[in-house]
Amino acid sequence: GEDVEQSLFLSVREGDSSVINCTYTDSSSTYLYWYKQEPGAGLQLLTYIFSNMDMKQDQRLTVLLNKKDKHLSLRIADTQTGDSAIYFCAEGGFQKLVFGTGTRLLVSP
């Protein structure tokens, strides 16, 4: 079945770059997503990438997709304390998404 894996924790200093990694198994996924969840809140879509793309940049966010290795990463440049949250990778085609376990990012001043 489909499976999405992420490391559980990442700690960085304010101003550094953060890289959150994700591996997935379903090569037929049409889209891959990054969601952010702040404490006590629902998931907020950060960005997504089509499966036929290698990279997508959106302001401080850069998504890299390696289809051969089924590896997705999210880079946050100039990480701020407000970026502290849980980040979920998700893969999906029509109608349904499969989520990873989430990576908790802690940004220290």
| Residue 43 in contact with another protein, rule: CB under 8 A | yes
Q: Report CA Rg, the chain.
A: 13
- How far apart (Å, rounded) are the C-alpha atoms in residues 4 and 57? 22
- How far apart (Å, rounded) are the C-alpha atoms in residues 63 and 11? 19
| Residue 45 in contact with another protein, rule: CB under 8 A | yes
Determine the 3-state secondary structure of 52 from DSSP. coil
| Residue 59 in contact with another protein, rule: CB under 8 A | no
| Residue 31 in contact with another protein, rule: CB under 8 A | yes
Q: With respect to another protein, which residue has the nearer C-beta, 17 or 25?
A: 25
List contacts with another protein (CB under 8 A).
Answer: 4, 8, 30-31, 33, 40-45, 48, 50, 88, 92-102
